[in-house]
């Protein structure tokens, strides 16, 4: 009888796993999916806690670079060992782990997810899937090659409001879609776009392994409390992706699903309120062109993004000017009406310049987290795996490259992974990982 380790190490197991990931579960002789959680507080705690709410899961290990942020998981599963370095966790307990949540700051998603998938572990990774475009392409390819079950942490994908709106659009209630305007109230988290590193950085608390927190990114001192860790990293270009990176994968998600966008944008142009080399702007606008689909009126479709509190114009939408738009959401402008989808709220439909009394069928909410667990147990890939989530992430991160070339339209060849009209801009597609953190293909 092969042990879990010997079974997983055989080429036969690898081939079978790629074809049918659930098969390995059958060898486990343990009815529960054995999970790890990487990143244990903040969103990590909610990811771990949600997964633990599924009757068929059991957490066998946790990892957080900051031991002060592991109190909740200790209470949840007192006998599960806690690591600060996920690589040590995988070295020591790799055989016991079937899958893992990855809920660290953005800059570490790709390296951790890549290491997990190479060990044939199923992965639920927070949005955005990666910190740069070439990492996203790498993760998409690796997910396909390994056949593990993957899901992006854009949980509203499974919410009734988003599911209902996507179905309503696909059912043709507003006709084919001519344009989409998306927006988000979040700013570069209240900062000016010109914030600089702390001039008198303090040492990290003893509970934090700072070298591990910085990981793939260029080293810098700990800084100050909450400057980078926890939460503050979002503002900083080396670690986060600003408001577009934070919310783009949520708010564009129903746009991608409703219109069945699977391809890359062909061009994108950004305007913003200004930035330095360290942080993202306080307010941005990005205009994308995507190839049309069966749900669009033309062979291409314009999709725009605004953040930092500016709302899109309702001109040309048929939505009365007296309507108060939600703080964040999207307007789908169709040939026969417009649909406003708040983030997260029930849609409204406007036809002929006024609110419509159409009542399209409402789809129920599904449990996004448990959908991934069920996928791991059954071998069925959920709807927003890393192929979908990778394409969504690439589009979001390309918008962030446009932000670096304010006012200049960048043309993109997604297959060749090349910005074709601005050679210099291609340098932002990838980043050299810090020594010791290279990501092998
Ligand atoms: N889906 C959502 O609605 C949603 C909401 C908030 C955040 N997020 C995403 O979740 C991720 C985490 O965001 P957050 O707000 O919780 O950040 P955070 O900084 O508050 O928490 C991150 C946690 O990960 C730990 N960590 C950092 N680096 C680590 C590493 N290399 N290995 C293990 N643990 C590590 C930190 O100590 C901390 O406990 C981000 O990708 C963010 O975009 C998603």
Residue pLDDT, tens place only, 135-153: 999 999 999 999 999 999 9
CA-closest residue to ligand 1 atom 6: 43
Q: Is the domain of 311 the same as that of 329?
A: yes
Spacing, Cα 126 to ligand 1 middle (Å): 8
What pLDDT does 187 receive? 75
Closest CA to ligand 1's atom 17: 231
Statement to judge: residues 144 and 58 lie in one domain:
yes
pLDDT higher than 70, residue 327? yes
Residue 393 beta carbon below 6 angstroms from any ligand 1 atom: no
Band of residue 409 on the pLDDT scale cut at 50, 70, 90: very high
Q: Do 98 and 240 reside in the same domain of the chain?
A: no
pTM of the model: 0.94
3-state helix, strand, coil in the chain (%, to 5): 35, 20, 45
Q: Is the shortest distance between the CB of 69 and ligand 1 below 6 Å?
A: yes
**Any idea what the CATH number is for the domain that residue 282 is in?**
3.30.360.10
* Distance in Å, CA 15 to ligand 1 centroid: 33
**Residue 232 shares a structural domain with residue 104:** no
Nearest Cα residue to atom 9 of ligand 1: 126
Q: Which residue segment(s) compose the domain that 93 sits in? A: 4-156+369-384
Mean pLDDT of 313-317: 97
Band (pLDDT 50/70/90 cuts) for residue 192 is: confident
- Ligand 1 centre and the CA of 47: distance in Å? 10
Q: What pLDDT, on a 0 to 100 scale, did the predictor assign at position 190?
A: 58
The closest-lying atom of ligand 1 relative to the alpha carbon of residue 245 is: 43
* Same-domain check for residues 410 and 434: yes
Regarding whether 373 and 290 lie in a shared domain, the answer is no
**SS3 (DSSP) at 190:** coil
Ligand 1 centre from 123 Cα, in Å?
15
- Residue 279 CB less than 6 A away from ligand 1: no
Asked if pLDDT for residue 9 goes beyond 60, the answer is: no
Burial class (CB in 10 A: 0-12, 13-18, 19+), 215: buried
Residues 333 and 430 in one domain: yes
Q: Convert the pLDDT of each residue in 223-279 to its tens digit.
A: 999 899 999 999 999 999 999 999 999 999 999 999 999 999 999 999 999 999 999
* Protein residue whose Cα sits closest to atom 22 of ligand 1: 104
Residues 374 and 225 in one domain: no
Residues 324 and 227 in one domain: yes
| Ligand 1 center–CA 111 separation, angstroms | 15
**CA 234 – CA 131 distance, rounded (Å):** 11
CA–CA separation, 399 and 280 (whole Å): 12
Atom 33 of ligand 1, nearest CA residue: 64
Q: Is the pLDDT of residue 20 over 60?
A: no
Are 429 and 397 spatial neighbours (Cβ–Cβ below 8 Å)? no
Domain count, the chain: 2
Q: Are residues 16 and 122 in the same domain?
A: yes
Tens digit of each residue's pLDDT (9 = 90 or more) over 24-64: 443 455 579 999 999 999 999 999 999 999 999 999 999 99
Find out whether the beta carbon of 317 lies less than 6 Å from any atom of ligand 1.
no
Return the higher-pLDDT residue of 201 and 5.
201
Tell me the average pLDDT across 299-311: 95
CATH number of the domain where residue 90 is located: 3.40.50.720
Q: Is 42 in the pocket of ligand 1 (CB under 6 A)?
A: yes
Q: Tally Cβ neighbours within 10 Å of residue 211.
A: 13
What's the gap in Å between 174 CA and the centre of ligand 1? 38
C-alpha 276 to ligand 1 mean position (Å): 24
What pLDDT is attached to residue 12?
A: 31
Say yes or no: 109 and 217 in one domain.
no
Asked whether residue 130 falls in the same domain as residue 246, the answer is: no
Distance CA(412)–CA(1), nearest Å, equals: 52
How high is the pLDDT of residue 408? Answer: 98
């Amino acid at each position: 009888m092969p042990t879990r380790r010997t079974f997983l190490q055989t080429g036969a197991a690898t081939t079978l796993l790629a074809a049918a990931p659930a098969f390995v579960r059958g060898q486990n002789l343990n009815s529960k999916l054995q999970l790890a959680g990487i990143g244990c507080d903040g969103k990590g705690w909610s990811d771990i806690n949600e997964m633990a709410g599924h009757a068929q899961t059991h957490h066998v290990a946790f990892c957080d670079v900051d031991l002060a942020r592991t109190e909740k998981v200790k209470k949840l599963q007192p006998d599960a060992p806690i690591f600060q370095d996920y690589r040590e966790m995988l070295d020591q307990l790799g055989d016991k782990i079937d899958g893992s949540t990855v809920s660290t700051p953005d800059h570490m998603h790709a390296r951790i997810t890549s290491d997990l998938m190479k060990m044939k572990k199923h992965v639920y990774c927070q949005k955005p899937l990666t910190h740069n475009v070439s990492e996203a392409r790498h993760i998409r390819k690796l997910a396909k090659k390994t056949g593990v079950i993957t899901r992006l942490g854009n949980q509203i994908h499974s919410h009734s409001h988003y599911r209902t709106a996507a179905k309503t659009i696909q059912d043709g209630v507003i006709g084919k879609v001519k344009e989409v305007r998306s927006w988000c109230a979040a700013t570069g988290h209240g900062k000016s776009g010109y914030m600089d590193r702390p001039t008198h950085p303090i040492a990290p608390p003893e509970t934090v392994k700072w070298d591990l927190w910085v990981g793939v990114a260029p080293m810098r001192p700990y800084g100050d409390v909450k400057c980078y860790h926890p939460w503050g990293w979002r503002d900083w270009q080396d670690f986060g992706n600003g408001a577009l990176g934070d919310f783009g994968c949520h708010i564009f998600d129903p746009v991608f699903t409703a219109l069945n966008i699977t391809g890359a944008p062909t061009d994108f142009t950004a305007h913003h309120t200004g930035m330095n080399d360290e942080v993202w702007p306080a307010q941005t606008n990005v205009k994308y062109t995507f190839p049309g689909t069966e749900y669009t009126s033309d062979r291409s479709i314009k999709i725009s993004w605004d953040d930092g509190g500016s709302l899109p114009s309702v001109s040309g939408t048929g939505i009365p000017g007296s309507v108060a738009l939600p703080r964040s959401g999207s307007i789908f402008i169709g040939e026969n009406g417009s649909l406003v989808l708040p983030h997260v709220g029930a849609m409204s439909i406007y036809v002929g310049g006024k609110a419509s009394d159409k009542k399209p069928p409402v789809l129920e909410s599904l449990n996004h987290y448990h959908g991934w667990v069920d996928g791991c147990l059954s071998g069925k890939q959920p709807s927003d795996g890393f192929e979908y989530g990778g394409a969504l992430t690439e589009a979001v991160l390309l918008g962030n490259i446009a932000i670096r070339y304010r006012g200049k339209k960048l043309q993109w060849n997604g297959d060749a992974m090349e910005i074709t009209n601005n050679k210099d801009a291609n340098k932002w597609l990838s980043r050299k990982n810090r020594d010791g953190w290279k990501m092998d293909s």
